[in-house]
Amino acid sequence: MARKSETSETRADKKGTWLTYRPDIKVLDCTIRDGGLINACHFEDGFVRAIYETCAAAGVDYMEIGYKGSKKVYAPKEYGPWKYCDEDDLRRIVGEGPATVKLSVMADAERTDYHEDILPKQQSVLDMIRVATYIHQIPTALDMIKCAHDKGYETTLNLMGVSVVQEHELSEALDILARSEVNVIYIVDSFGSLYSEEIQVLARKFIQVAGRAGKQVGIHTHNNQQLAYANTIEGLILGVSYLDCTMGGLGRGAGNCPTELLLGFLKNPKFHIRPVLQCLQDHILPMRQKLKWGFDIPYMLTGQLNMHPRLAIEAVEEGRQDFVGFYDDITAEE
């Protein structure tokens, strides 16, 4: 590369520049998990295996292969195997023996039969349980974290909808989480509404509390305002360690931070972009014939308004292109 610009300490507390790399950085590809929200987790084995093999070849640290959804909440006749991630299904992808990439699943607070469905670590190929929670579900989430931790897993707590959490409640939540068994606390921009200045405030706050407790911080972004990648590297620069991404940005609505952009930024020589490019041309592009995702004006509008994207997702599914009418609808609703 022929870059010529200077490097300098422009953020007083930043943890590196684009020329350095930090060994604490972990990349988590959640293509199958987040993408599963579009197709009720009906990915074919060949696609899941391709993502798995790409993650291994690209040096991705964790692959999130799906959910641990409750079969009482989510009827198995409606969802594919990656809604539950039963051990047999996982083994069909990974084969026998240890996995070549660490595997995680997401367990939603109040929607997982965690006592039964999460096996002791010795009986599972999974490495990490990620508990997704809104702030009012934190007591449940903490019990899930304790359960997963006691069974031998790495754990993360993904605090969703952080853009609508009151500051003093966030402070209280973080203090509670700091005293829990959780290893990583995630900033989750569920609505794709956060700007870089807000990411800075949140990253500093999370890192301060988590750091004191010997925990790390992660970030999961959405691309409603074309800021998923920008906000991920903003967090990274300030010291966030766990970075979520998906290949081709595949994910519900506006999608996620693209793995290929993130690996292009990261300088640790263990990361390789070439296998991701191969996967994009062989598997993600063909998937675009079947699934629709990525930036679109309705997603932008809910992001700008700091609203859940559900109305935008409906609008895009209906092929609605009267953006003004959609804007008037969602602003009238406020």
Binding of a second copy at residue 316 (CB under 8 A)?
no
**DSSP three-state, residue 184:** strand
CB 188 within 8 A of CB 218: no
Which of the stretches 70-78, 101-109, 162-170, 180-188 binds a second copy when contact is defined by CB under 8 A?
A: 162-170
Binding of a second copy at residue 21 (CB under 8 A)?
no
Which burial class, exposed, middle or buried, applies to 333 when counting CB atoms under 10 A from its CB (0-12, 13-18, 19+)?
exposed
Structure tokens at 183: 């290893």
Single residue of 119, 165, 174, 311 touching a second copy by CB under 8 A: 165
Q: How many CA atoms lie within 13 A of 59 on its CB side?
A: 16
Binding of a second copy at residue 321 (CB under 8 A)?
yes
Using CB under 8 A as the criterion, what x/- string covers residues 271-300 for binding a second copy? --xx--xx-xx---x-----------x--x
Closest to a second copy by CB, 214 or 269: 269
Shortest Å, Cβ 249 to a second copy = 9
Amino acid at 257: C
Binding of a second copy at residue 194 (CB under 8 A)?
yes
Backbone φ, ψ for residue 242 (5° rounding): -100, 120
| DSSP 8-state assignment for residue 271 | -
Q: How many CA atoms lie within 13 A of 121 on its CB side?
A: 15
* Cα–Cα distance measured from residue 105 to residue 187, given in angstroms and rounded to the nearest whole number: 17
Binding of a second copy at residue 195 (CB under 8 A)?
yes
CA distances from 212 to 65, 243, 319 (A): 31, 20, 48
Single residue of 202, 209, 245, 266 touching a second copy by CB under 8 A: 202
Binding of a second copy at residue 230 (CB under 8 A)?
yes
Single residue of 137, 156, 158, 163 touching a second copy by CB under 8 A: 163
* Cα–Cα distance measured from residue 124 to residue 231, given in angstroms and rounded to the nearest whole number: 34
Which of the stretches 21-29, 85-93, 148-156, 229-237 binds a second copy when contact is defined by CB under 8 A?
A: 229-237
Shortest Å, Cβ 144 to a second copy = 26
Single residue of 4, 77, 212, 290 touching a second copy by CB under 8 A: 4
Using CB under 8 A as the criterion, what x/- string covers residues 237-276 for binding a second copy? x--------------------x-xx--xx-------xx--
Single residue of 85, 106, 138, 233 touching a second copy by CB under 8 A: 233
* Cα–Cα distance measured from residue 157 to residue 186, given in angstroms and rounded to the nearest whole number: 6
Which burial class, exposed, middle or buried, applies to 82 when counting CB atoms under 10 A from its CB (0-12, 13-18, 19+)?
buried
Strand partners, 158: 132, 186
Binding of a second copy at residue 185 (CB under 8 A)?
no
* Cα–Cα distance measured from residue 46 to residue 302, given in angstroms and rounded to the nearest whole number: 34
Closest to a second copy by CB, 154 or 296: 296
Amino acid at 294: G
Element (H, E) at 316: helix 310-317
Binding of a second copy at residue 225 (CB under 8 A)?
yes
Q: In the structure, how many helices (H) and strands (E) does the chain have? A: 14, 8
Shortest Å, Cβ 246 to a second copy = 13
Size of interface with a second copy, in residues (CB under 8 A):
64
Closest by alpha carbon to 50, among 275, 290, 291?
275
Closest to a second copy by CB, 17 or 100: 17
Binding of a second copy at residue 10 (CB under 8 A)?
yes
What is the binding site for a second copy (CB under 8 A)? 1-8, 10-12, 17-18, 163-167, 193-198, 200-202, 204, 223, 225-231, 233-234, 237, 258, 260-261, 264-265, 273-274, 277-278, 280-281, 285, 297, 300-301, 304-307, 321-324, 327, 334
